[in-house]
Structure 1
């Protein structure tokens, strides 16, 4: 009894990798290996890289809005039409200024998600789950291993970003102390350049942290979807009983058999036809075969295909309606003909050999 219980417990342990079917089901439910840190890190990196490359244009755009506001817009007469025109002009200028930033952020977010899970649209995650409102379940999540990992990850991000900011500012402390001696443009350029450098440095460190977090999420996901030996057996039984799976497997087997049959057909000695509904290809080698064998057979469109291939390979076709029907019904592909059909098949083979001017051993 104890041995049976131990075996049952062992079979229920989640020790096996998930099957492809289990992975598909998990993906449909939105259960994939994904780290939110990858999206935030890449977004930060792309954004500051954009400012490093196009920061000068962004600043010039801001200055143009500033100049137009104080050198042109303030001189306009105050009216409803001028106010509408002013609003439209400012809206267009600001849109041109921030639209590239939004595009960079969008590309970074899409790229980060595609790199992790590929293209996936899942409606399951949009459904309301009242179980998430359970306070007991929430308390378990607070004190779970995932919460501890998230806490450690947050502390690491705070420490890393703070350390980077401190070191880079400390390195530039002399210039910061003398910033009051510079003009407005040089001061803004220095602050902007320092900010971009700090942002890129932080983003690079966060990308490395995000990569480590992604591997942790992948390991956690793989562990979560593990299956027991019993689960795999149950899934296999379920798939075996699925009519759709059986139908696909049967169709695949029939296709393979058809391809193999058509490959063997050029080796036939004769094709016996109905003439339109049935076709049976016979092969006989007296040195290696005890009796002639059926190497291909078919009805309707398959029979037409057999006759076409026989014509292409110059294989003689003989019409014999009762014999063609009997062979099709009684003999499977790869099997010898039954004894009661020896004489009828032998006569046809003898006729074929005579017409082709060659000799093969005849059946006794």
Structure 2
């Protein structure tokens, strides 16, 4: 591939030969359409990445099914990594402050933020007043390569970017941008209230977030019980360090912390009643509309419960989650979570397989 960058005022025009291809989602029950783009304009601080591999998150499946609202046309995909092939006019730094260069292998946050609004200044940049989210935004003239299901992704200024080693499999690293970093943020929120060392922890849902949170919690000295309806997922949870696994409906006992990663209203309700005195209920899976869950306020008061929600993560949490995966990916079966890989032009087949209850992740390869 030839990448030719030409100055164009304050921006850089990047000409691509052959052209970049993005899979564009138009509406529920319609297949993705492959759309070619021959050039990209990079503003100062922006980056163009050639995608090495992407993985299909549950939220991508929910969008395609119509379970959650989304603007169209849209390039889905927000778990991915790749190599930098072009840079805008201004220098760009990784989260650790080091300068990024052509050829760097990187992964990036699910979102770009301004860094200056009240939410960014208070440490909640994932809720920036002018937030732009990869794989979630309607494509526009200046930002068409806005998701991971493409040969290239256009990274906006304000996107946290993390450099990653060349010798770690792409299938291990791609989910860090969503599942891994979100699991890390969930445990960080629990530990602001209750240390995990010596804690009894209930995790509902043995998907990417639940399994990753299980390994992370065990590494921090917790004893983890995982609840999931799928026997194969329960077996997998034990391989990720779970001391006990249960099917929904079983009485799980009492816990110091409950992390709800499935989004099931019944699992949310179980988490609320299974947490003991001074415990933490951490909700992370409820990212699509569901029916309301009853809450006993007297129990919350008398049991000194803390109920918290976590959505996405901060730049430092992305960097820390990446460090964790680099250090621990061979200690747990992370390499097995991506069960199969489809080519970019078979994205719809991959999304169907991802939603059929098979592998934890299905990968999408642009090549």
TM-score, L = length of structure 2 = 0.18
Structure with the greater alpha carbon radius of gyration = 1
**Which has more strand, going by share of residues?**
2
Larger helix fraction of residues: 1
